């Protein structure tokens, strides 16, 4: 429902571009795992997202700390969207039906 309300309150043209941003905004406060293109994977609490899918994480832990020694003294971080490969989401907080509907609605708006 949160996602839907965000979609309705933004104007049409920006809705199309911002679907993923809006979606990630509904996951703020949840724990996610971000895998970067340099194979570093970071688990942390999502604190903010923007239109480039740049994200900020809190209380981060890094897989394979031995290889990434510089990350042990980092507690919160900003990750540039362009270097992200995957984001693992908590499935219980993702409403795929809602996402599917939002996509269909946009497709309809575009063709109309």
Nearer to other proteins, 11 or 111 (CB): 11
Among the listed residues 7, 19, 49, 102, the single contact to other proteins using CB under 8 A? 49
Which residue of 72, 85, 86, 107 would you call a contact of other proteins, by CB under 8 A? 72
Sole window of 1-9, 33-41, 87-95, 97-105 interacting with other proteins (rule: CB under 8 A): 33-41
- For other proteins, give the closer residue by CB, 75 or 104: 75
∠ CA(25), CA(31), CA(37), 5° rounding? 85
DSSP 39: S
Q: What radius of gyration, in Å, describes the C-alpha atoms of the chain?
A: 16
Sign of torsion, CA 102 108 111 112? negative
| Cα gap 77→92, rounded to integer Å | 25
CB 100, min distance to other proteins, A: 26
């Amino acid at each position: 429902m949160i996602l839907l309300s965000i979609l309705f309150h933004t104007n049409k043209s920006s809705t199309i571009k911002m679907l993923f941003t809006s979606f990630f905004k509904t996951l703020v406060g949840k724990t996610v795992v971000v895998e970067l293109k340099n194979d570093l994977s970071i688990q942390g609490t999502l604190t903010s997202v923007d239109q480039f899918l740049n994200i900020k994480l809190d209380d981060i832990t890094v897989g394979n700390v031995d290889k990434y020694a510089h990350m042990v003294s980092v507690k919160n971080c900003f990750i540039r969207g362009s270097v992200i490969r995957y984001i693992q989401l908590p499935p219980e907080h993702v409403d795929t039906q809602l996402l599917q509907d939002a996509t269909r609605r946009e497709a309809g708006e575009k063709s109309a």
